[in-house]
A = this chain, B = another copy of it.
Amino acid sequence: MNALEKLRERIAELCDLVFIEMLVGWDQLVMMPSQGAAGRAHQLGALARLSHERATAPEIGEWLDELDGVPLEELDSDIVRLARRDWERARRVPDELAMELARASADGQESWRIARENDDFKAFAPALQRNVELARAYGECVAGEGESVYDALLGDYDFGLHADELRRVFGELAGALPALVREAQPRSPRRALEVPAEAQQAAVAGTLRRLGVDAASWRVDVSAHPFTAWIGRRDTRLTTRYSDGDIEALLSSLHEYGHALYERQVDPALERTNLGRGTSMSIHESQSKLWENHVARNRAFAEVLTAELAGGGFAVAPAELHEALVAVEPSAIRVSADPLTYPLHIILRFELELALIDGELAVADLPAAWNEGMRRLLGVEVSSDALGCLQDVHWGAGDFGYFPSYALGCLIAAQLWEAMQDDLGPREEDLRNGEVAPIQRWLGERVHRHGRRLDTIPLLEHATGHALEIGPFLRYVSPFAER
């Protein structure tokens, strides 16, 4: 085998290991008997160590050196380009730091869990301090030419994005959204729709079937938190959850479907290569948000959802369902936020994590800064740290630079939705009939098929002809304020 063949074989193996990790993780959350947890931790640890070892092995560097300057076909050239980027990035992290990060992440999540239960930020502060310091050390190792430490962290989720760009975009958004929130608030108290769990379940199953979810290559299961696992191109598993009197499942199942469709529509030629998956967290989130915000929350699609709910024995008028799905109500909690206030939750987290990493905010001052930010951005008084700065696991797990993708996903989804309608015309008539094939095709062609060949911003520009911008998102949410 020549160097290219050896490299491609190793990459295929690493892909297989990623799929196996996905499966083992899925099983843990969906199928595993609870007492399997201790063994499972060992199994996941072994997989992570093996993957890391195989991904950072010195022979990869030798193959890459052999391939340096060799003329390659376009696909192979992209494979080698990404292989060098990934390998060099991974090699910059000393094994000891990598192990320390993994340990601190496990410890931090446990510390966070207990602290949140007891609403005791002080108990969590040392773990958070350790995570901040380790993330800084990691960022310093990984940072490329001209990159800040935070940029380097961001690069794990969205390669090529910079904190400066986020400051600009999120700054504009933080300037525009609060006024809309104030405008919306008195007019539209959230309408609770008391939909029984079985009716939701029937509606979710029926809606997903219309979108092409079949038993031959999908699973739909229940888990404590909705998520999606892709275990190869034709084995996609999404989960949701149902509780009486909550319509979250209608949104979250479409959200997860968006993630799933992205992975399924990557060009088959990229399968088992380092290009054969979604390119970044923010593009991934744009796909889930597109189906959540622009399909599930579309007034026309409410016709489909109500028909499916009726099939499950629950009658509601499309207009009423739609009202419930788009009602604006500022609250302290990110995961249940409405589409208008959601990005403000993220902007707060971005500001704070950036300040923590840059050393401009001390860990001890986090709760006060959080509560001040919630007041400033959302007009919300935070009643406890458990419902405030302790609500998310991310920082406990050592994940800094991850939050921005949630808001970027909202912005990019809106940009794609406008670009798609410029191309295909308004989608309302199709959506009223549950016809989504043109949407699937457009996304496949403009976004999905490229896999990792294009990074976030080049992909966005390729798909929409525009740089990252907030206009489309503001046009999407404005009607929710004006209702």
A233 contacts B39, C-beta separation under 8 Å: yes
B-chain residues with CB within 8 Å of residue A216 when the two chains form the complex: 33-35
B35 contacts A217, C-beta separation under 8 Å: yes
Report Cα–Cα, A216/B35, bound state, in Å: 6
Is the interface on chain A under 10, 10 to 19, 20 to 34, or 35 or more residues?
35 or more
Report Cα–Cα, A38/B39, bound state, in Å: 28
Task: With A16-B46, A50-B50, A272-B42 as known contacts, state yes or no: A33 contacts B233, CB within 8 Å.
Answer: no
Task: With A20-B20, A27-B27, A31-B31 as known contacts, state yes or no: A40 contacts B219, CB within 8 Å.
Answer: no
**Closest B residue by C-beta to A46:** B16
**CB under 8 Å from chain B, chain A span 1-25:** 12-13, 16-17, 19-20, 23-24
Report Cα–Cα, A24/B217, bound state, in Å: 16
Does A435 sit at the interface, judged by CB under 8 A?
A: no
B-chain residues with CB within 8 Å of residue A33 when the two chains form the complex: 215-219, 234-236
Does A231 sit at the interface, judged by CB under 8 A?
A: yes
Task: With A24-B20, A234-B33, A235-B33 as known contacts, state yes or no: A12 contacts B42, CB within 8 Å.
Answer: yes
Does A43 sit at the interface, judged by CB under 8 A?
A: yes
| Set B43, B49, B232, B233: member contacting A43, Cβ < 8 A | B232
The number of times this chain is found in the oligomer is: 2
Report Cα–Cα, A108/B439, bound state, in Å: 45
A234 contacts B12, C-beta separation under 8 Å: no
Interface of A: prevailing SS: helix
Task: With A16-B43, A42-B12, A43-B19 as known contacts, state yes or no: A32 contacts B272, CB within 8 Å.
Answer: no
B35 contacts A16, C-beta separation under 8 Å: no
Does A36 sit at the interface, judged by CB under 8 A?
A: yes
| Set B13, B35, B219, B236: member contacting A46, Cβ < 8 A | B13
Report Cα–Cα, A46/B16, bound state, in Å: 7
B-chain residues with CB within 8 Å of residue A235 when the two chains form the complex: 32-33, 35-36, 39-40
Does A47 sit at the interface, judged by CB under 8 A?
A: yes
B-chain residues with CB within 8 Å of residue A47 when the two chains form the complex: 16, 20
B-chain residues with CB within 8 Å of residue A32 when the two chains form the complex: 231, 235
Task: With A16-B46, A19-B43, A20-B43 as known contacts, state yes or no: A35 contacts B234, CB within 8 Å.
Answer: yes
B-chain residues with CB within 8 Å of residue A217 when the two chains form the complex: 33-36
Using an 8 Å CB-CB cutoff, how does the interface string of A84-118 with B read, 1 for contact, 0 for none? 00000000000000000000000000000000000
Report Cα–Cα, A1/B447, bound state, in Å: 49
Pick the most buried of A23, A40, A234, A235: most chain B CB atoms within 10 A of its CB: A235
B-chain residues with CB within 8 Å of residue A40 when the two chains form the complex: 231-232, 235
Report Cα–Cα, A40/B40, bound state, in Å: 20
Residues of A that sit less than 8 Å from B by CB = 12-13, 16-17, 19-20, 23-24, 27, 31-36, 38-40, 42-43, 45-47, 49-50, 215-219, 231-236, 272
